[in-house]
Structure 1
Amino acid sequence: MVIETAGAERKLQLQELENLRLEAYENSRIYKEKMKAVHDQNIKKREFQPRDFVLLYKSRLMLMPGKLRSKWEGPHRIEKAEPYGVYHLSHPSSSELIKVNGHRLKLYHGEKVQKSKELEIFRLEDPYIATD
């Protein structure tokens, strides 16, 4: 008789444990949905139009480390916009087009670059140290 009551009590405990586990899964799902909604509110939709000037993010920056090196290159001009965030860029000093993802771009707010204008490039080098 004691064994039967102990067995029934154990079944109730297991069922309660299963209910707690299912409730934890449900709470986790609700939490993830709320966090996704908060995250999605902060995402800015980037829409670029043809003839806009943009800067292109250098994803291979770690090959040449340096604090003062810029992570952005450009300005580039958008020649064509395709669906799903694909853009064709042209650099003012060259005629070839680059196909990039829109997540790697940001709007350029500087002066408009003319097609015939030459860009001056400054390279950062270590200073010369004279030895006596």
Structure 2
Amino acid sequence: MEHKAYWALKFLNIDEKASMEHRKIQLLELEEMRLTAYEYSRLCKEKVKTYHDKKLLKREFKLGQEVLLFNSRLKLFPGKLKSKWSGPFMIKKVRSYGAIELYDPQSQTPDRTWVINGQRLKLYHGEEFTRTHSTVHLIAH
């Protein structure tokens, strides 16, 4: 097999040593490009992480506070103008790394609690409010 390759190189008038050196240079360039891409990817990930960490809000919650819960699963309910905040709920326990254990004080089963991410909460300031519903009819002339 080597004999055929040797004659093919001779036939094409290619220097075997020069082609081997060229191939080595190509492999080194490919390795350098791979390392550069890896470094660029690492830098981009670091920038995205610092941007994301800057956007996180530092919130301090205490036991017994009333909070509102952001409901991101409103696709089940019809209507675009429905509030995305539900509650108020009471904080039963503050866990590490921002996890909060909640319970509903108006529920018939006070033992039912759930743990959620503290980033989905905001303080409830205790004012009672009534939701109004109004309809505007547009008539085309």
TM-score (norm 2): 0.67
Structure 2 vs 1, CA of residues 19 and 103 (structure 1 numbering), >3 Å: closer, same or farther?
Answer: same
The answer to whether residue 117 in structure 2 is matched with residue 99 in structure 1 is no
- The number of aligned residues is 119
1:81 maps onto 2:94 in alignment: yes
Gaps of 5+ in 1: 114-118, 128-132
**Deviations 1:2-44, CA, capped at 9 Å, x for gaps:** 2211221121112111111111111211221122122212211
- Supply the distance in 1 between the matched residues of 2:55 and 2:71 (Cα, whole angstroms): 24
RMSD (CA atoms)? 2.8
Runs of 4+ in 1 over 3 A off after TM superposition: 122-127
Change (3 A) 1:80 1:10: closer
Name the % identity. Answer: 45
- 1:19 aligned residue: 32
CA offsets 1:66-118 (integer angstroms, 9 cap, x no match): 11211111222223323341222233x3352432312332112342x6xxxxx
- In the alignment, is residue 49 of structure 1 matched against residue 50 of structure 2? no
**Aligned equivalents of 1:2 and 1:77: distance in 2?**
81
Q: Distance in 1 between matches of 2:134 and 2:78?
A: 13
Residue aligning to 1:39: 52
Q: Which residues of structure 2 form unaligned runs of 5+?
A: 1-13, 137-141
Query: Does the 8 Å contact 2:69/2:122 carry over to 1?
Result: yes
| Structure having the higher Rg | 2
**Is the CA contact 2:88–2:104 (under 8 Å) kept in the aligned structure 1?**
no
